[in-house]
Structure 1
């Protein structure tokens, strides 16, 4: 399949229920949070929730098992943005964060490989809804206030879900590119999607031949490779 004939086709990926959020107000006075913010000289309300540093502070939070894991999103974004598919102009990456907002990462954006720098930028993004916070150049920006609004903009959503109908990665990617719908991949470490997320998905698939759950970045790897093969980028 030639690139010229398929130039209009793109793989759209949305990182669903990403555990990116500022430290919630109800735990900002917790000693663990205070020690962390004093160490780095930042305010609790400008700090990204991170289970590594806020484990005990997170104890009273609802859905605590799905929160405080920016590292999953960090690794996933690096994989997507550095991919050959993105470099060739065939990828669109979106982040759906914990409070429901959706952000678009432009193809030329290269987020820091250093984890602490990444967290600092994500905190800025959640506060200002764009990166950088000011100026004419925008590398990451908000495109929707909710997942429902985003799905309406896109026309539909294909959800990768363990309970979905089994399909090969290549079949899922081909259908997504033809429909121009994003494929949603969960970013949380364990548990299930929210009922609202499942409801909004027009199609729900699982990866055929895969038993049990895969890490988010492994799923993304399969999708990227399948798209690169379908578009003739890889043999």
Structure 2
């Protein structure tokens, strides 16, 4: 079984410090929701982010990365065959567990609404039949719970040829869920930190590459 974690992803509700910013208020009003109940999204909230979090303005508010990543993972042959488990870990140490049966909306706007529902209710569709569940948990705690060999994908890691890299059947790959910068969480506990390409890969591309390699080995 492969476990795939999107770590330190930039998925969060609008922080309290900027809920009163005009850009946030306007967008929330348009969506007929309270500012505290909408996802932070740099497409609409860049000015608000910059006003309070200037050093992270190019990083925060990226639900789109999570959307692309999950679409790639959940629609993979590996997931259809029941050999993949997927998790989204956020900058605020929220962990969303994705059931293998989950088929996510292809529409980005519907995906955003789904994630907002998860943050508000902790379960989708409900506690008795959850497809998505949210809980507070650090990246380290999640990896320890899974218990597999843990491998971080990072351009700063040891360069490996993925076609020759030894991938055991029980493995956890950790991929950064942010557009730039480095992990916020300490990832030095991992068994290995490796690079599979001479450059930066988007999270969903990295996910596709390791899923395809695992499929070649074990499907």
Superposed counterparts of 1:1-235, under 5 Å? 10-59=1-50, 60-61=52-53, 63-132=56-125, 134-142=126-134, 145-155=137-147, 157-172=150-165, 174-175=167-168, 177=169, 180-194=170-184, 196-207=185-196, 210-231=197-218, 233=219
| Residues 135-166 of structure 1 deviation map (CA, whole Å, 9 limit, x = unaligned) | 52110113652112112212352111111112
CA distance in 1 between partners of 2:172 and 2:21 (Å): 39
What do the CA deviations read for 1:103-141 (whole angstroms, capped 9, x no partner)? 210110011111111111111212222212x35211011
RMSD: 1.7
Structure 1 residues 32 and 143: alpha-carbon distance in aligned structure 2, compared to 1, 3 A threshold: closer
Residues 200-233 of structure 1, C-alpha deviations (whole Å, 9 max, x = no match): 32311111xx2211111211111111011101x3
Tell me if structure 2 keeps the 8 A contact 1:13–1:183. yes
Report if aligned partners of 2:95, 2:135 keep a CA contact under 8 Å in 1: yes
- Secondary structure in structure 1 of the residue aligned to 2:102: coil
Whether the 8 Å CA contact 1:144–1:150 is kept in 2: the answer is no
What is the distance in 1 between the residues matched to 2:194 and 2:24?
39
Distance 1:185 1:118 in 2: 20
Structure 2 residue matching 1:213: 3-state secondary structure: coil
Following TM superposition, by how much is the alpha carbon of 1:199 offset from its aligned partner in structure 2, in angstroms?
2.5
Contact 1:173 1:226 in 2 (8 A): no
TM-score normalized with structure 2 length: 0.92
- Residues paired across the two proteins, number: 216
Alignment partners' CA distance in 2, 1:115 and 1:172: 34
Q: Normalising by structure 1, what TM-score?
A: 0.86
Q: Which runs of 5+ in 2 are unaligned?
A: none
